[in-house]
Amino acid sequence: MALRMVFSAAFRNGTDLGVNIVRTFVTTAFLCRRVRPLGPMPNEDIDTKSLESLKKYGSYTHYFKQAEEAKNKPVWWKTYKGYMDNADPEHGAEKVDIGLPYVRSHRIKEVRERRQMLKDKKKNAELEKAFRLRTFKISVDRVQETWENDERPRHVKRLAEHYGVFRDLFPMAYFQPQVTLCICHSQENSSQVYYGNQLTPTEVASAPQISFSAEEGSLWTLLLTCPDEHLLDNEAEYVHWLVGNIPGGVVQAGEELCHYLPPFPARGTGFHRYVYILFKQDGPINFQDDARPSLCHSLVDRTFKTMDFYRKHQDSMTPVGLAFFQSQWDESVTNTFHNTLNMREPVFEFVRPPVYHPPQVKYPHRQPLRYLDRYRDGKEHTYGIY
């Protein structure tokens, strides 16, 4: 009886497995027939049944010549890189450094100095005892100072690239933020702007206190802009603050071209980026054409493009500092729209984007058959072992 049950179970599993295999082949064949190729497939004209009738190459030189001609022949199955280059001419193009020259100490020299320092520290008995007893303390200020001097420009640049700041404000360009901006909206340093941290519109409702190291007699320009806030044009920005001809790092003594306007991210639009950019001027600049009215509450007048502003004055200024934060809607935005901008508050409904799937691979390894459903055009489902 037990043997009969084993045989029946094996027969049933074998039958199910055979059905699943048949479904697999049918599904694969259906998917292959569903999408037509863009043109003739490679070696489609070769008769594989009579290989003896194919043309023979008399020498390797003749074969190599024919192969080079076939390689340079334009076909539709060119590489993905070539397809992207034709679809997007800027894909893979080299970006331009528009900032000050960034000179970093030699890597080999840094490694040698670090090794020598480790050798000296290992010979210190008191330091070894402190490590063993876990009483050694590291000065956070000293660590911050070391990072500011060595790695900060490179790390801030990577953060700006990650958040798409250069892509949206300086297309095909970048710069190394070599000047540290200290931006604080409160006396307790609780609302300080770093590099992508989140602040509410209530916390940044008033103009911040800004400080940075500057040489005596130098002139600077400070810009606060938002590339995500414009209500009508996706490619435009709203300028929130613009101060030019700042003498020696004293922002209050500069020429205020556009007074400070608090962020107003519309409800339902998620987080917006607010970017501070510091430019170093070669000399005094006439900003008469860039100045807004003393109390500019018109969004039309505040429409702005950072790249156009930089191109206009690129011979007289250079971007050297960068800081940015993120903010989304809260109750203070309603007050800004109604009382400051004197307009009705727009409300947007969030549309959830489609589920992201990575690019389809030709040979999916260790993936279920349902893997094919992710990349189909229709809504019909395939069947198989899930």
Q: Report yes or no on whether pTM surpasses 0.75.
A: no
Residue 175 has pLDDT above 90, yes or no: yes
DSSP assignment of 100-119 equals -------HHHHHHHHHHHHH
Residue whose C-alpha is closest to residue 222's, from 299, 146, 320: 320
pLDDT higher than threshold 90 for residue 375: no
Q: Is the pLDDT of residue 28 over 90?
A: no
What is the pLDDT, as a whole number, of residue 146?
85
Q: 6 pLDDT band (50/70/90 cuts)?
A: very low
pLDDT of residue 378: 66
**Tens digits of residue pLDDT in 215-273:** 999 999 999 999 999 999 999 999 999 999 999 889 999 999 999 999 999 999 999 99
Per-residue pLDDT of 202-217, as tens digits, reads: 999 999 999 999 999 9
Tens digits of per-residue pLDDT, 61-73?
888 888 888 888 8
Q: Are 283 and 218 in contact (CB under 8 A)?
A: no
| pLDDT 10s digits, 68-96 | 888 888 776 666 556 666 665 555 578 89
Q: Which pLDDT score is estimated for 87?
A: 61
Query: Residue 165 and residue 318: Cα distance in Å, rounded?
Result: 17
Q: Under CATH, domain 167-340 is a member of which superfamily?
A: PEBP-like (3.90.280.10)
What is the chain's length? Answer: 386
Please give the structure tokens belonging to residue 377: 């055009």
Q: Which helix (H) or strand (E) holds 327?
A: strand 317-327
Classify residue 245 as exposed, middle or buried by CB count within 10 Å of its CB (0-12, 13-18, 19+).
middle
Higher-scoring residue by pLDDT: 173, 382: 173
Rounded-to-integer distance, Cα 69 and Cα 74, Å: 10
| Distant-in-sequence, close-in-space partners of 125: CB < 8 Å, separation ≥ 6 | none
| CA gap 22, 285 in Å, rounded | 76
**Neighbour order of strands in the sheet with 192-193:** 192-193, 182-184, 209-211
Q: What pLDDT digit, counting tens, does each position of 275-324 carry?
A: 999 999 999 999 999 999 888 999 999 999 999 999 999 999 999 999 99
Q: Residue 289's closest CA among 253, 257, 335, 264?
A: 257
Give the per-residue pLDDT at 272. Answer: 96
For the chain, the domains span 167-340
